[in-house]
Structure 1
Amino acid sequence: MRLIPLICIFFTSLYAGVLSVDITPRGKCDQKIGIKILDQKYLSYKNIEGIDFSELSDLAYDPKEKKLFMISDEGRLFTFHARFSDKIDLLKPLGATRITKENGKKFKKWRRDTEGLCLGSRGGVLISFEGEPKLGLFGEDGKRIKKYRLPKPLREAKNYRSKNKSLEALAYHPKYGALMVAEWPLKSDHKKQQTIYSLSGKSWHFKAEPEARSATTAIEVMDDGNLLVLERSFTDFLDPFVITLKKVYLAGCKENSLCQSKVLIKMDSHKGWDVDNFEGLARVGKKRFVMVSDDNDNFFQRTLLIYFEVIE
């Protein structure tokens, strides 16, 4: 991480707000890029309505209500008023709540590892969980409305390579409904072959990126029905931190087949990109998306919100 961002973190940690940052490499980039970065922000809130603002894992945007929802790893749901044009015009906290069961009771600590987030088809938000894998529909007040039965391969924690590598990525597709991808492929699958699962039991495959420990951290449905996939590769501080955005061609891909994919950008820390632990994606307009990073509740990491347009 660059020295200047560290200094900025130190001086801004006392203040809440939205600050401008720049994660792009200095000088000329020799990489062909399939996205255009429109705006970049550092979210420096310590807490919102008394709830710690950290460890964000996914996003969802309601274009009608102009609400951007953010879910954290600890079952905390944040709502922002957000408007987007060629820049992020508005980003203002509206509220925060902890998710609960239908009866209002809290989830036990080991059962509230919330990772995936998307809008429900008829209101509310869908949330997926790691640890004890599950999927539920929740209201904006955080209360669970409905539970869903997962496809058979996803039901048992023992099927995943790790309890912390399970239902990480979630999106709602207008044709296939809720789609899910585990952070790492299941034990029964090749470690470089990822699978997209639908609630109905349909599945498709795509190749994980070649970098070591490459993990799928978020997915989002694109305008043409294909998937935008976010992958993260991190091994240790001496090796590059690589964030990949790629398009997976779900349209025309037969069930249980290997779908074609196209890398839109690789953000490599060893090539000047000042990346962080990006884990969430949301579509906010035609060909336009935001992605967010998980600060791991660590002073040396940041909650970054990057607004970009796919131009491939």
Structure 2
Amino acid sequence: MTDAMTPYLGYELAWFVATLIGCLLIALPVMLAVAMAIYAERKLWAAFALRRGPNVVGPLGLLQSFADGLKVFLQETIVPAAANRTLFLIAPIITFTVALIAWAVIPFGPSMVLANVNVGLLYILAASSLGVYGVILAGWASNSKYPFYSAIRAAAQMVSYEVSIGFVLISVVLWAGSFNMQDIVLAQKGTILGVISFNALNPLLLPMSVVFLISAMAETSRTPFDLTEAESELVAGYQTEYSSMAFALYWLGEYANVILMCALNSVLFWGGWLPPVDWAPLYAVPGILWLFAKMLVVFFIFAWVKATVPRYRYDQLMRLGWKIFLPLSLLWVFLVSGWLMLTRFHGA
């Protein structure tokens, strides 16, 4: 796109316009996907509970999320008198923005990626870790004890599971031999019996795919790890003092992070945009459709768990992260690296 516009705009302006268009082509569908994800999840919860779910606003209730968004948008934004006004309003913006910038390195197809950088996985780790700031600032700037307690709890939870996620990603990087997201996808091509393109079916990476999925639920504060918003204990957690669009940005950011984790699960362990079987006719289907189908499966698992699994206690949450997932993921780094030294790099 940059090359096509360079003769008319010059390289610098052409690069800027092309990058801006690329950002919009990712950000706008992601925001639309967030609205549809909320609708789909409510429908799934209703099905699990033998209810009908949203079915009034629009055909099949498809416009319910937009009606909810309009209602929130029209409400008054209330800032507590004792709050730090600037940080109070910046905090939800940070959370929502961080949820979007990580998509820059997600590959949607063989050449469909905004920034095909060699350290794409490190970029995602860095971007996702910034989400802690939005939570901490929300609790501190509210100048209220309950949001602050919840913000501390949320920060501890997010940091705890980021550690185990980091070691899981090291195992994937060792197997693929690259931090580049496209290379990680291509490294899965026909790796199982020379035909199946899934890391998750690799005996060495299968346990890590399960650890990553559960850690992703904890990282995004999803049930059964939604202790940062446990209404029975903390009113509404660090969001207690928020209203109107400031409150909505946290919900949008949460669902954007959930969709991002679905994409990461698909890219790292389920072949990303590759077809499930390395068979030539299947490559006629656009890679973005394969990626989207895999994301839907992972999203269904997220909704299924939320509808059926009871909430953990906080001590159980910490024990799972520090005493089970962290030692297990660290051990797996040694197992994967040892296996690679004995097989792939033996005698090199």
Same fold (TM over 0.5): no
Higher helix share: 2
Shorter-chain TM-score: what band?
Answer: under 0.3
Bigger relative contact order, structure 1 or 2, given CA contacts below 8 A and separation 6+? 2
Q: Larger radius of gyration, structure 1 or 2?
A: 2
- The alignment's TM-score, normalised by the length of structure 1, stands at 0.26
Higher strand share: 1
